[in-house]
Chains A and B, each alone.
Chain A
């Protein structure tokens, strides 16, 4: 197996692969960025030249081998070039989330000891100047967008274009040095350090080697037959492993084009224009897109709604079957063609997904409803399962073998085993080298034989042979009555309702389960508008009795569905409240990638959880909130707590409802 899953040494590092691309794919587009309303493009030859000019500029600035270079900005070719240029000169790029607070940036910069930073604009420069006042490590900041920086002290600031320009003038002098450094690099060297946002504790720096990343790229490109003809939209945070693997590793390995949107707000328009053929988005994106389609359709005329509903219903019946190459009767096939030409095709165009050949989602479970919706439109949407430590890919669904509740088969080269406690472990060429400067954590996660613990509980589905993930292993527990508690099971079912953005279910060591609900302002706001419900703020809307009423009906529907699962029967939600604020990354309640930090939420809202379990009907809370610029404020609210109907156990039908009605203040 090892022969097929490793990369040859002549392509063993990123700079060498880019060099090959300049020769092999020379005039093919490598990067595009929309700027001033037009897509600007660079071929592989031009991109290679940009990278070399920058690399020489970096040598001139004093970058030494093994230096760390922090990269902070939105997805732009300049930053992909920066990462390759850093690797060229033997340094290690460390992408940092651009929306991190100064504290978070300071921690990462200090931990990795970055002497250099390449950043986007004034906002990031301000953050770094703040950081450099605290830690003396940072020596040079290179910025891409000079706007607003004219009056700054330029003692440690450099303009990106000027650094490249300097690099071009020094070419004759420093070309040999650059080539010497590029030749010294080996596949086992660190290609990047990615700080995991982590749902617990301080972020850890995951060190991925060129071997890790390129082998993963090679195997997974082969798995989905990705070639230089793909096109991808780079819009997910550059500090996230996914963007590094899709837009850096796979794109350079296969030689396909990376398209960078104009800014965050234009992502959708840009996706539509580019027509990506390979696309990744978290479930939240697909949920949001479906919600916006539904909202638009609810506002449309009755006739249009009838057309839409009919086409979708027919597509649900035949779409997935066609995608998987199963037999469909001729009339159904013809009608589906017609639907596609008149209704589904234009709809697909509006979503920007019409050209997608391979689409992936991961990170959280996606609702079967949502998943099927896109597949019935003919989008080859699949799920994968992965983590930073594995260069993303652990398992993925092959074409034609897609089940909404599983995450697929092991990726090429990956071995998986389930240990006695039910935790999923894997061993693969992509498995990380270490956590930077943290040998204890490395030893905890990766054993001597190279098996890496995922921290997720799962099992192989006996009928399909695909992996199924239950929940984070440490979140799975027991209720006070000893029954299994897996919060994500219930949460995922709840989140499939468009008006529920986020939810957190509590119940470990308690007598029954309770839930926090975050409403989706877009969906609920639109609903309120159509029903003439006036509100002045998020808080007021969230507390509206009608909103509570509709959430309650969702919860009761979910309870019925949860009750069908024998093992997780007790994960039904008995009581709930609608939170007065959205859980937010700036408040540390969710990670930058949008995962709930359960412990933080439990601590911060302990009074609310207590109140839900002691039988109170309302509870007062004062919450500290953090504004985007780091200032603090407080909001106060009195929240209503409601009971939801739960399904009684069939065998105890006589006893259970009575106990439910007379629920005593129960927390031990």
Chain B
């Protein structure tokens, strides 16, 4: 079952809407999410250089179906570069990336998006002058088929398509509880809210792999708690696989299934939060080592 087949049973509060949708499959509705075992993405011996600087040195790890996978490390460890490699924005000089078992060639970002990979950005890359709703609708772009002309006349297929896309955007708005800011220009929203809108835009494209670049950066405790809950809900309700970079160790340890630790471009740890927390190399990297 493709992970976002779940989307048909997306939670939404409205009884009538739910009646209209398939109520048929009680087993699946009550069923457990897929056991994380099949790798969505495997990264083998990745090395990435910028001129003479080696940002990533020979790193290998995988991301399993349905898990929350975190990449952590001190500043300058190469985390963002790693996420950019996963998202296809950077092309590593060495190593191979396998996506769902097949070697992934160098691709343009929009091609990667069509593969079902969506992301958010550390510095928020929304259209500030557009409303929340319009920003989220742009996330449906890869699913729109009607041409410019049909969109302009807005009849027949184009109209149906727009309504369908709007419906999906509204489900995400409901899911992220941002109804109150639906029509508000994104530039007027608080930082935490903008982050939520950006997550919405990534989610609405129905990704099977969601990449989050420091989703909690610059947030207060309450906003962090909200965001953590949404990440877990996304993972739980839609079965979306999530890879994230985060500075806040507490948050990472709470919400991740497995954690990769990087330092100076190299992988120094990999495992469950508990394993990583007790790993001497990781402790040294974070707390520093006394020099003899």
Contact = CB atoms under 8 A, between A and B. Distances in A.
A262 interface: yes
B237 A263 contact: no
29 contacts: A35-B12, A35-B13, A36-B12, A36-B17, A36-B167, A36-B173, A37-B133, A37-B170, A38-B170, A40-B14, A40-B16, A42-B16, A144-B13, A145-B12, A145-B13, A146-B11, A146-B29, A148-B11, A150-B29, A150-B30, A150-B237, A160-B15, A161-B18, A161-B23, A165-B23, A263-B179, A263-B180, A265-B179, A266-B180
A121 interface: yes
Contacts of B174: 35-36
A629 B159 CA distance: 44
A266 B11 contact: no
Interface in B1-54: 11-19, 23, 29-30, 32
Interface string A130-158: 00000000000000111110110010000
Contact of A147 (B23, B170, B183, B237): B237
A663 interface: no
B11 A36 contact: no
Contacts of A150: 29-30, 236-237
A262 B32 contact: no
Interface residues of B, number: 29
Interface string A241-266: 00000000000000000000011011
A42 B14 CA distance: 13
Interface in B165-185: 166-167, 170-171, 173-175, 177, 179-180, 182-183
B20 to A, nearest CB: 11
A148 B13 contact: no
B181 to A, nearest CB: 8
Interface string A16-43: 0000000000000000010111101010
Contact of A33 (B14, B29, B167): B14
B179 A262 contact: yes
Interface in A402-442: none
Given A33-B14, A120-B13, 14 more contacts: A35-B174, A36-B170, A37-B133, A37-B182, A38-B170, A42-B16, A145-B11, A146-B11, A147-B13, A150-B236, A151-B32, A154-B30, A161-B15, A161-B18
Nearest to B167: A36
A164 interface: yes
B248 interface: no
B164 interface: no
B72 to A, nearest CB: 26
A266 B184 CA distance: 12
A147 B11 CA distance: 5
Nearest to A74: B13
Nearest to B18: A161
A269 interface: yes
A162 B236 CA distance: 22
A35 B17 contact: yes
A35 B177 CA distance: 11
A379 interface: no
Interface in B30-87: 30, 32
A263 B177 contact: yes
A148 B233 contact: yes
Interface string A110-128: 0000000000110000000
Contacts of A160: 15
B23 A162 contact: yes
Contacts of B171: 36
A191 interface: no
A269 B180 CA distance: 8
A40 B15 CA distance: 10
A555 interface: no
Nearest to A120: B13
A38 B171 CA distance: 12
Contacts of A162: 23
Interface in A259-292: 262-263, 265-266, 269
Interface string B125-168: 00000000100000000000000000000000000000000110
A35 B14 contact: yes
Contacts of A121: 13
A55 interface: no
A33 B167 CA distance: 16
A151 B236 contact: yes
**Best-buried of A120, A146, A160, A164 by chain B (most CB within 10 Å):** A146
Interface in A200-219: none
Contacts of A147: 11-13, 175, 233, 237
Contact of A36 (B14, B23, B29, B177): B14
Nearest to A77: B15
Contacts of A76: 13
Contacts of B11: 145-148
A150 B183 CA distance: 31
B235 to A, nearest CB: 12
Contacts of A145: 11-13
B6 to A, nearest CB: 10
Contacts of B32: 151
A78 interface: yes
Nearest to A629: B225
A265 B179 CA distance: 8
Interface in B234-280: 236-237
Contacts of B23: 161-162, 165
Contacts of A37: 133, 166, 170, 173, 179, 182
B188 to A, nearest CB: 14
A123 to B, nearest CB: 11
A164 B15 contact: yes
Given A150-B30, A263-B177, A263-B180, A78 B236 contact: no
A141 to B, nearest CB: 16
Contacts of B17: 35-36, 40
A147 B230 CA distance: 11
Contacts of A165: 19, 23
B112 to A, nearest CB: 30
A37 B23 CA distance: 23
**Best-buried of A33, A37, A144 by chain B (most CB within 10 Å):** A37
Interface in A165-188: 165
Contacts of B173: 36-37
Nearest to B31: A150
Given A35-B13, A35-B17, A266 B179 contact: yes
A266 to B, nearest CB: 5
A40 B127 CA distance: 30
A165 B167 CA distance: 24
A386 to B, nearest CB: 31
